[in-house]
Amino acid sequence: MTTVDIVINRETDGWPEAIEPKLRAAAEKVLESGLHSAAEMAEMGITLADDATVRELNREHRGKDAPTNVLSFPLAGEDFEPEAPGAPLLLGDVILALETVAREAAGQGKSLDHHAIHLVVHGVLHLLGQDHETEPEADAMERLEIEVLRVLGIPNPYTDPPPDRP
């Protein structure tokens, strides 16, 4: 079994303190899915940022001058093998934008925690090579997200109404 070191960085104030263990658990659940190699050790990061930081990264790396809810920066490559024997597999980073995540959660009637957890699941799947460029890819990735969220006790974000709504 792979041991994964998940580093959570707070780049901005405003994120609830209690969210970090929830995001870590979500990332761990995705990593348990077996979508990566059997490397002995792996590392990844989750950054809790703000819209300004994510907007800058989105502009630099994707040519889009706007914030977005989550960005993923995979590092592992297609073979998911460490760079050297005994070295950890570097999976990459998932970065969340506080204002966008909070606005979307409120607009969808979801808790900030549930929406952020969903976005971390989505982001970690990108680190593991999943994508949604085509309809079959999007369907497969969505099914993986729904299953991981179900295990975490979070309703299907695509079809289920939030728990406090009919």
Interhelix angle 19-31/135-151, nearest 10 degrees:
120
Fill in the DSSP letter of residue 115: H
The CATH number corresponding to 3-151 among 3.30.230.70, 3.30.420.40, 3.40.390.30, 3.40.640.10 equals 3.40.390.30
pLDDT at 166: 36
Band of pLDDT at residue 46, cut at 50, 70 and 90: very high
The two three-digit tokens of residue 5, written as one number: 């070191």
What is the per-residue pLDDT across 100-114, written as a single tens digit (0 to 9) for each? 999 999 999 999 999
Q: Where are the domains of the chain?
A: 3-151
Q: pTM of this prediction?
A: 0.90
What are the C-alpha distances in Å from 69 to residues 11, 30, 43, 62?
15, 19, 22, 14
